Amino acid sequence: MTDLERAYGRLLRLYPADYRRARGAEMLDVLLSAAEPGRRRPALREQGALVLGALRIRAKAAGRRTTWGSWQVALRAAALTLVLGCVPYLGRDLFDPTVGGRPEVAAMLALLAAAVVLAWRQRFLLAAITTAMAAGLDGVVTGGGQNWRFAVYLLPAVAFLGLLVGRGPVAARPTLLAVLLPLTLLPRLPGYVAYWTLMGSDVTFPLSWVLTLSVPVVAAVWSLVDERVTMAYGLHHLGLVVFLAVSPRVLYGFDPESVPLYPDLMLIVGPLLAAGMAAVLARHRSRV
């Protein structure tokens, strides 16, 4: 066995075992036949392509699909992450001695659990209705105050689920959510920690901004592996920022000058740029 063959073999071991059994020998033959005479190791471009191919296979992102099919997957995934995003807040409320055990909190958590199951089982109309019911409890859970902590997650999720009603089945895999959830929830981890520990926001604010600025870069890079994850990431933040920008002014009657838009716009720039790049990739891949 030559050095080049061994090098290709190491790269091919990145692929799942069943994939290697089915196509590994054929891939190795093609790679060796296309290699330049005398080469002892794969070119950097070949190494990158093989690593990227292995990641796409493991992420269940390989295969041809339409652009709308990618958007459907992104809409459902974004709706799921929006629903799951308010669960940590409600979880603490359930155990808070001042509000713990309130029937409204338990009912809202039950509705959200049902919405997640329904959305995963592609019952989008029922999932949208259940999520809207949970959003309707927002004012009850927060004591009727001017607090849109839950609605900011749930109303965009209702909109995304509504767009999927009657559009046919959505092909998606748990591996997509396994990557998407850290991207969407990690920037909010400092806020969750501050809420659960009653720590001042000034302590967790710097870490929150570091994560907010760095995660879009990770999402943009991951679009090379699975563009649907990055599209869902952009939709998730678009829904949050649109509601944050509109709700204080329309739903709560705040003075627009007292709630400036620029912080919200700053938060959406990175995710939207990453999602735009992913959308271009999705369109290109649909034509290949």
Residue 173 confidence class, pLDDT cut points 50, 70, 90:
confident
What pLDDT was estimated at residue 151?
A: 76
CB 156 within 8 A of CB 243: yes
* CA separation for the pair 34, 27 (Å, rounded): 11
What pLDDT was estimated at residue 214?
A: 86
What pLDDT was estimated at residue 146?
A: 45
CB 256 within 8 A of CB 152: no
Query: Which class for 96: exposed (0-12), middle (13-18), buried (19 or more C-beta within 10 A)?
Result: middle
Q: Which two tokens stand for residue 150?
A: 């839950």
Question: Which residue is associated with the tokens 């001017």?
Answer: 146
Most confident of 16-30, 170-184, 262-276: 16-30
Average pLDDT, the chain: 80
> pLDDT tens for residues 138-147?
766 555 444 5
pTM above 0.75, yes or no: yes
Sequential DSSP letters for 216-245: HHHHHHHTTT-HHHHHHHHHHHHHHHHHHH
* CA separation for the pair 225, 180 (Å, rounded): 12
CB 240 within 8 A of CB 156: yes
What pLDDT was estimated at residue 123?
A: 92
Residue-range domain boundaries for the chain:
3-58, 67-287
> pLDDT tens for residues 42-80?
888 889 999 999 999 988 887 778 898 899 999 999 999
Taking only Cα atoms into account, the Rg of the chain, rounded to an integer number of angstroms, comes to 23
Count of beta carbons in the 10 Å neighbourhood of residue 18: 9
| 19, HSE (Cβ side, Cα atoms, 13 Å) | 16
> pLDDT tens for residues 95-136?
766 655 577 788 888 999 999 999 998 999 999 999 999 888
SS3 label, residue 39: coil
State the amino acid at position 214 in one-letter form: S
CB 146 within 8 A of CB 252: yes
Share of the chain above pLDDT 70, in %: 78
* CA separation for the pair 265, 257 (Å, rounded): 15
In this structure, of 91-100, 111-120, 151-160, 205-214, the range with the lowest mean pLDDT score is: 91-100
What pLDDT was estimated at residue 220?
A: 93
Over range 134-161, report the average pLDDT: 73
Over range 34-47, report the average pLDDT: 84
* CA separation for the pair 23, 15 (Å, rounded): 10
Q: Which two tokens stand for residue 215?
A: 């995660």
Q: Which residues of 224-241 are buried (b: 16+ CB within 10 A; e: fewer)?
A: bbbbbbbbbbbbbbbbbb
Share of the chain above pLDDT 90, in %: 31
What pLDDT was estimated at residue 97?
A: 62
Q: Which two tokens stand for residue 173?
A: 């895999």
Over range 74-88, report the average pLDDT: 90
> pLDDT tens for residues 229-280?
999 999 998 888 777 666 554 444 444 444 445 455 667 788 889 999 999 9
| 36, HSE (Cβ side, Cα atoms, 13 Å) | 7
**What distances in angstroms separate CA 280 from CA 49, 68, 220, 223, 227, one per listed residue?**
19, 12, 12, 10, 9
SS3 label, residue 192: helix
* CA separation for the pair 145, 176 (Å, rounded): 36
Q: Among 216, 269, 265, 221, which residue's Cα sits nearest to residue 244?
A: 265
